[in-house]
Amino acid sequence: MLRIDRIFFQYRRSEQAVLDGIDLDVPRGAIFGLLGPNGAGKTTLISLIAGLLPIDRGEIRLGGLPLEEARRRQPNSLALVPQDYAFYPMLTVVENLRFFAGVQGLAREISRQRVAYCASFAQLETVLGKRAGELSGGLRRRLNLAIGLLADPDLLLLDEPTVGVDPQSRHFLLDSIRGLRDQGKTILYTSHYMDEVEAICDRVAIIDHGRILVSGGLSEVLGSDTPEARFRLAQPLPRELHDDWQARLGLHEEGGNAYSMPLAGFKDLSELACRLSDAQCEVLGMSYGGQNLEQVFMRLTHRSLRD
């Protein structure tokens, strides 16, 4: 559905590239999670796909066609639902829907049908006459989504669609996004909520410093075939043990005296616990299982704060 090939982009007056040779394949009918720290290049990439920024080098193809040609043939084949609220707060919900249907060139009868459908899909029927600026955070997010769906796009770019909403609204939005996939739509989804991405995405990519660190199916990225032991200590692991396990067993530091590594070097957790006890390490917690996405993300992007 979407092919991104060797995309390079650098802002004027910037000393380094924001995107440095990005390659991605987003299959049709999938929810593709795009993850990265602040400043990693996610928003720039979304802006390039949406046509908000010109491409410096490389190519983006939509449905097998160069992006510009695809947009020329089918202007409404792609829609962006931005993180910021993209509607007029002084207009009512229905006025916003009608306005944006008109902006996208929908004929009157089609506009009427799509406004009714999108309002129903986002469960906005009870607030159609209410000013958008008076809506709760969850309703505003649902209005953002409804506006993005008006022209019935094949590819939907969702940039942090659940920021600032209550748990009920978040679950509703996630269920709605799954429903869009079941209708055959392709979705590129960015979020800082790793549990959301694990819950709904078929494939994921992690980007940092303008480069793709890992990309593939969710189970492939998580490495579900290699479960790990994770433990937290009251004090740092002794240096001799730390260096030995790091060299032989692939020990990783998770921060805060927390560590993880494959359990292959031990018979079971009890043997690992005994080795820690022999080294006079006080164990505060221990678990065994597959990695989650947050652990993969932190390991690849490291733990330093980003502005």
Each residue's pLDDT tens digit, 163-182: 888 889 899 999 999 999 99
Integer Cα distance of 66 and 76 in angstroms: 15
Each residue's pLDDT tens digit, 7-27: 999 998 888 889 999 999 999
Per DSSP, what are the bridge partners of residue 159? 190
* Encoded tokens for 120: 């129903």
Each residue's pLDDT tens digit, 291-301: 678 777 877 88
- Cβ distance 307 to 39 under 8 Å? yes
This prediction has a pTM of 0.78
Q: Reply yes or no on whether the pLDDT at 304 is more than 80.
A: no
> What's the chain's length in residues?
307
- Cβ distance 206 to 15 under 8 Å? no
How many Cβ atoms are within 10 Å of 28's Cβ, its own excluded?
12
Identify the pLDDT of residue 303: 54
Distance (Å) of CA 163 to CA 82, 208, 292 = 11, 21, 21
Integer Cα distance of 228 and 252 in angstroms: 11
- Cβ distance 147 to 101 under 8 Å? no
- Cβ distance 158 to 190 under 8 Å? yes
Per DSSP, what are the bridge partners of residue 203? 32, 217
- Cβ distance 150 to 175 under 8 Å? no
Sheet of 57-62, strand order: 19-26, 2-9, 57-62, 65-66
